[in-house]
Chain A
Amino acid sequence: MRKSFGDPVADDLRFVVKTVVGEENFIDMAPNKSNNYCCGGGGGYLQSGYTDARRAYGSLKAEQILATGAAYCITPCHNCHAQVHDLSEIREHAWQTVHLWTIICLALGILGENEREYLGDDLKEVLMYPAE
């Protein structure tokens, strides 16, 4: 976002997320968009072997997520997903981390049983496809 397409794409993504989860269910973090903090999954971090440093780096992101009080954090990129998921796991699973494609398909009512790995118990059975 910050490095390539900038805030217009950050706004596009917010449009998508608000459309699928409902405006009232979307909570932005602070700071956000181009001013946001990196989660620490990128730049080779996940493979670097510096696990403690990576988690310390990510604590800023974890605090941001916790401050929203949201039950789900949506990550559009693969490295972010792995890192944000790990940050939650080491905090007694403080939030669910889902790919953007998961939440879009859930909202469309086309998310099958095997595609729900990262949903929490509250959504595991919701809008199951195909319907029983």
Chain B
Amino acid sequence: MGEPAIKITGKSVFMDKVKDLLPEGGNLNLCLTCGACSSGCPATGLEGMDPRKFLRMAALGMDEEISSTPWVWMCSMCTRCVYVCPMKINIPQLIFHARKTWPRDQRPKGILGSCDMALRSDTCSAMGATEEDFQFVVEDVLSEYQEAQPEFAEMQAPLNKVGAEFYLNQNSREPVTEPDEMVPLWKILHLVGADWTYGTKGWAAENYCLFLADDENWEKIVRTKVKAVEDLKCKVWLNTE
């Protein structure tokens, strides 16, 4: 008898745990090893990994490798592998849970910093823009355009308008780094006569706590944003992200 090619413990504590969490166990036991997932995954080959391999390693109980490979941060959670899988196996959920096995302070610094920054104020801005910053930028840009572009003298970019149909959010990058990029959207909303508003609270569209696999703070940010929409009694939450 030859040596086994890889050392396996036989049972994956990690995969069993994830199976318990997912509806239908994420179908994690049903893999046919066909490779459809890997052949269409843009992350295949990075760190010598691919989705089928990741799943097989988890199934074989290679828990240490699964929870230490940086590849879990190189999957964009795009779910194409699920879409093409004949057994609808939820590999990205497995990867997401592997992210959670990383100690919080060792997860990628940029994602961590963006999550922490968003937790510092009710704006949820990962770039740290405050309620006052946002209000100032919106009002400043609006008045400039009302003056310079005659057809849009009446255009509004309402803040905290109670009872508006649409609550619109905005990625922090626009108010912070390229405010002029907000204007084309305002123009379209103005021309179609949409009843919309921004909120000084909860306006930032991004949520890096989700990507960080920090469930508690991911939820906290979503709740802050939902509260902002509900406090203004808006009917539709329009996410531009």
Cβ of B188: which chain A residues have Cβ within 8 Å of it? 101, 104-105, 108
Contact indicator A60/B42 (Cβ below 8 Å): yes
Known contacts A43-B211, A104-B188, A114-B180; A56/B46 CB under 8 A: yes
Does B5 lie at the interface of the complex (its beta carbon under 8 Å from any beta carbon of A)? Answer: no
Instruction: Say which one of A21-29, A45-53, A66-74, A89-97 lies at the interface with B.
Output: A45-53
Known contacts A104-B184, A112-B145; A47/B108 CB under 8 A: yes
Does B1 lie at the interface of the complex (its beta carbon under 8 Å from any beta carbon of A)? Answer: no
On chain B, the number of residues with a Cβ less than 8 Å from chain A's Cβ atoms is 47
Known contacts A43-B211, A78-B173, A112-B148; A57/B183 CB under 8 A: no
Q: Bound complex: CA of A111 vs CA of B76, how far in Å?
A: 33
Closest B residue to A83 by CB, please name it: B76
Residues of B23-82 contacting chain A, CB below 8 A: 40, 42-43, 45-47, 70, 73-80
Does B185 lie at the interface of the complex (its beta carbon under 8 Å from any beta carbon of A)? Answer: yes
Does B187 lie at the interface of the complex (its beta carbon under 8 Å from any beta carbon of A)? Answer: yes
Does A17 lie at the interface of the complex (its beta carbon under 8 Å from any beta carbon of B)? Answer: no
Q: Bound complex: CA of A56 vs CA of B184, how far in Å?
A: 32
In-complex Cβ contact of B74 among A35, A53, A110, A114 (8 A):
A53
Q: Bound complex: CA of A34 vs CA of B80, how far in Å?
A: 8
Please give the distance in Å from B51's CB to the nearest CB on chain A: 13
Please give the distance in Å from B108's CB to the nearest CB on chain A: 4
Instruction: Say which one of B109-117, B159-167, B222-230 lies at the interface with A.
Output: B109-117
Does A129 lie at the interface of the complex (its beta carbon under 8 Å from any beta carbon of B)? Answer: yes
Is chain B's interface secondary structure helix, strand, loop, or mixed overall? helix
Residues of B176-204 contacting chain A, CB below 8 A: 178, 180-181, 183-185, 187-188, 191
Please give the distance in Å from B94's CB to the nearest CB on chain A: 14
Closest B residue to A31 by CB, please name it: B40
Please give the distance in Å from B201's CB to the nearest CB on chain A: 20
CB 8 Å contact bits of B84-115 with A (1 = contact, 0 = none):
10000000000000000000000011110110
Closest B residue to A111 by CB, please name it: B184
Extra contacts besides A79-B241, A101-B181 (7): CB < 8 Å: A2-B78, A35-B83, A38-B76, A41-B76, A47-B111, A57-B74, A110-B152
Which B residues lie at the A interface, using CB under 8 A? 40, 42-43, 45-47, 70, 73-80, 83-84, 108-111, 113-114, 145, 148-152, 171, 173, 178, 180-181, 183-185, 187-188, 191, 205, 208, 210-212, 240-241
Can you sample 15 A-B contacts with CB below 8 Å?
A40-B42, A44-B208, A44-B212, A47-B108, A47-B211, A50-B74, A50-B108, A56-B45, A59-B42, A78-B171, A78-B241, A79-B241, A101-B184, A110-B152, A130-B151
Q: Which 9 A-B pairs have the closest CB atoms?
A: A44-B211, A38-B78, A47-B110, A43-B76, A101-B184, A105-B184, A43-B77, A78-B171, A48-B108
